[in-house]
A and B are shown apart, each in its own frame.
Chain A
Amino acid sequence: MRANQKRLIVTVVVLVGALLPLLIPHGNAPSGSSFLDKIAANIKLGLDIKGGALLEYQMVTDVSKEEMSALADRVIEVLRTRLDAAGFTEATVEKITTAISFGEDIPPVRVRVQIPGITDVLRAESLVGKTGKLYFADVLAIETSSSTPSIPAGMSLEISKRKLQGGEPFWIKELHFGEYVNGVQNNNWYFISPRIAVGSSYVELDGSVVTEAKSLVNNQPRPGQGRFMVSLKFNSEGSRTFREITSVKSTYTDTDIRKRLAIVLDENVIIAPLVQTQISDGNAVIEGLNSLDEAKEVSILVGSGNLPVELSAFNKRVLSPTLGRDIINASLWAGIGGLILIMIYMLVIYGKMGIVADIALLYNGVLLMGMVSLTGSILTLPGIAGIVLTIGMTVDGNVLIFERIKEELRLGKTTENAIDSAFSKVVWTIFDANITTILAGIVLFYFGTGTVKGFAITLIIGVIGAMFTNIVVSRTVLTAMAGGIKPERYLKTKKVNEGREAR
């Protein structure tokens, strides 16, 4: 019996250890939410349940895997800055490196962005998905049109001159092209050249020279202009080029198109302000913005620098919280329904011993959730499948134990002896049978992608928990209630009614 006291202590300690991370609020539940909500917040839910966007990008480049990895780190830095600046602090950005390649074309290093609970995906994508290059450009013409304007007349000389320099001009849309502001659709097109004329020569300036961009309130706006502005800081190399550019551009009159300097991100002009003065110290301001949101957007896009490489979508999943809620409700029913059915089944088949199985089942359920919470594992939809499956598997060990006890009782042993010898014989069977499932789970964890990893986690934790529950907890409870199990029942059934025993 002393051994059983030890087992009882272990059982209680582990139970408390599992309950603590569940009951002590450590999640991100908003203050003032109910106790139950706080408990629920202790378990991290995957995007496939609570809704959100998962955006995975590959890098368009030919470099080696090692260089790609370094490149990805820089991409992550830029994306992190952009997301933080836009207020998506809960978002995660991570590098994905594939274990095995399944095709030469599959990029081995990728960048994954996860933004939980987001409803405005377009906005997130315009921040993250604005993948490409940031650069400054000359503006040659501006037009409003719903389709691409034709090449401006009288410009053929200018165009061929720039073409020779490798800066052939092209039409490009404004960032918010097609959107309505105060009922007016933005139809602005810019005819730009990525090479900027400085006297008779041309220079290029890309966004990597911008070291800082901040959105600010302008306390003395020019009459008729917006009250917001963006300040830019350039590095020393950028300052030099920027001085050359501004020294020329500032000399033109306000109506001269050449006075404008476009800031271009990918396929869009973010903004094309007029250059008012020569800027030598590398500190510039863009004035006259109409809203703080606009100023913020410009500063984020310009300030987080250009990505060192172009990104293209590898996969994207966007899920509304509505669907997630529906899914989790359905899965809860599956779990509760399965739990109740199995508990009834065990009671019907094994009588008093069935109570032990049911206790073990609930115990392992708490243990599993506690471990998920403690390890900070993310519960995904397939993860819930893993939990439901664990419910079915926990009783398996008990079935093996009970059948063995019955066998021992039939040999005429006392209940206590039967329990002891049954356990000593069945421990390794339970171990072997479960370890195979754990092995499969580990392989799945290693190779599984995305949410399927969540399944591997709950399966592995669940099966280990089931082993512990069966070998330690069930034995404790069984030994404690050994007096209630009548050996005669099994002896008698065997002798009197052989046929009916087999179910």
Chain B
Amino acid sequence: MSHDHGLPPKSSVSRWFLTTNHKDIGVLYLITALFFLVFGGVLALLFRLELISSGADLLGSMGYNQAVSTHGLLMVFWFISPFAFGFANYLVPLQIGADDLAFPRLNALSYWLYLFSGILMGVSFFQGTTFAGGWTMYAPLNTPAYIPGEGLGATSVVLALIMFTAAVTLGSVNFLTTMYRMRAEGLRMRDIPIFSLSINLTVWMMLFAFAALLAALMILASDHILGTTYFQYSIDGTTMATDADNPGASLLWAHLFWFFGHPEVYIVFFPALGVMAECFQTFTGRRLVGRKWFIISMVLVALQSFVVWMHHMFLTGINLPIKTIFMATTIGISLPFDLMVFSLIYTMAKGRVRFTTPFLFSLGALILFIIGGITGVFLGAIVLDYQFRGTTGSSPTSTT
């Protein structure tokens, strides 16, 4: 018997505004995330177009910085994770034998907060200038003192991020409750399919990582709206005084941001890893080799992801013992991934590998991941990391 929620049919527009059904919301997430992919993608096209000639003649220098910054924020926050959560909404209840998520209305609320936070991002473009301080939003460039004009657009971006974080946190609680309380009878946590397991670990990481981001964003919003100076030195007339009593302002942001930012790397990667593992099993006709160790590796990565953040800050003058610790944790976190890669490779052995489109994508992803993993280890060698720092994409995109 199909679930009758008393909703209008799918062909009716009102259905999509009223729905609390996990499949419907999954579809909404997928479509909305694709919209933000195009939004962020067009911004990327704009700033690549700007780079055709050396002068700032298309967007202007501030326009360029706005395009780069919001492109990064849209892709990282409003596209990648929500796209994965479209699949998670649709599939997790089916994979664990639940009727729906534990709190269907809360699930709808998560979606609508996500959508409205993204719309607020769009609105910020029409409020003078939007945020232009890079997707890592380093302090004090992210504070009103360094934002030309009224800074209203940048404030909207901060508020949009807070709203997005609220959506993520509600979603995390919802998924965790569902997975721990609503599995089919007799289904142990370790026995749920690997995609659902990857989502489980993703939401655990989200719950803690986004809390740090929320803290940082709330005091940043206070700097923007109430005029506090958490992330800048006190203003002495019109010049910034370096000898003011807040010398840790820049590093406060960097620590809070990267404490969120590194788990975020795995938050965006884990759902894809889960999809890869499912596709490998399905299209090779083999069970995942060393499944138990694959799962243990994922758990280790999820835990370790909270103790590697300072490898994004190797040049900030941190002392040698701390650098050494973070070098060790960085290398440490690459090892479970090694195991997962070999597990996927050996899953193909004695299989009947069908080269369908999903498998081609998964195999391509595995090969990219192998190359990315090898070059990622380069960054674990701190002397190399020093020089790669600040060059294209090295700090945010390395997976190790």
Asked if A and B bind, the verdict is no
Residues of A within 8 A of B (CB): none
Residues of B within 8 A of A (CB): none
